[in-house]
């Protein structure tokens, strides 16, 4: 990875870290999706897909953190009285993750 790539990946990682609580907090506490946080997360994933399009590897910690968000959303949907909104958001994230991780 080049310096520009590393810098861009660091910036994306920082944005991801800032939005995770905004996304998962309302899902865990109120069983609702914050649409602004979801839009931000989807934008971050889109940027990550662009950055990683020519790379063969994604940093392991980032992979784990990205999939954690998806699986946490699925788990919370299991405990919601009305899960479709949470499930729809989780599957949107999963589609973006599939774009990033392949198959290529």
The domain tally of the chain equals 1
**Alpha-carbon distance 2 to 94, whole Å?**
27
| pTM for this entry | 0.90
Structural domain of residue 79, as residue ranges? 3-101
Structure tokens at 58: 């994604």
**Alpha-carbon distance 46 to 78, whole Å?**
27
Q: Which helix (H) or strand (E) holds 57?
A: none
Tell me what pLDDT residue 101 has.
Answer: 82
Structure tokens at 30: 């109120």
pLDDT in tens, the chain (104 residues): 566 668 889 999 999 999 999 999 999 999 999 999 999 999 999 999 998 887 777 788 888 999 999 999 999 999 999 999 999 999 999 999 998 887 65
Q: Give the list of residues 6+ apart from residue 62 with CB closer than 8 angstroms, or none.
A: 9, 13, 16
Tell me what pLDDT residue 66 has.
Answer: 93
Question: DSSP code of 2?
Answer: -
Tell me what pLDDT residue 1 has.
Answer: 54
């Amino acid at each position: 990875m080049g310096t520009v790539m590393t810098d861009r990946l660091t910036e994306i990682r920082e944005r991801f870290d800032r939005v995770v609580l905004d996304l998962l907090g309302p899902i865990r506490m109120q069983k609702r999706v914050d649409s602004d946080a979801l839009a931000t997360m989807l934008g971050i994933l889109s940027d990550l897909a662009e950055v990683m399009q020519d790379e063969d590897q994604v940093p392991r910690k980032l992979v784990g953190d990205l999939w954690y968000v998806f699986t946490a959303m699925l788990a919370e949907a299991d405990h919601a009285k009305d899960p479709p909104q949470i499930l729809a958001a989780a599957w949107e994230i999963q589609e973006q993750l599939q774009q990033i991780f392949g198959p290529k």
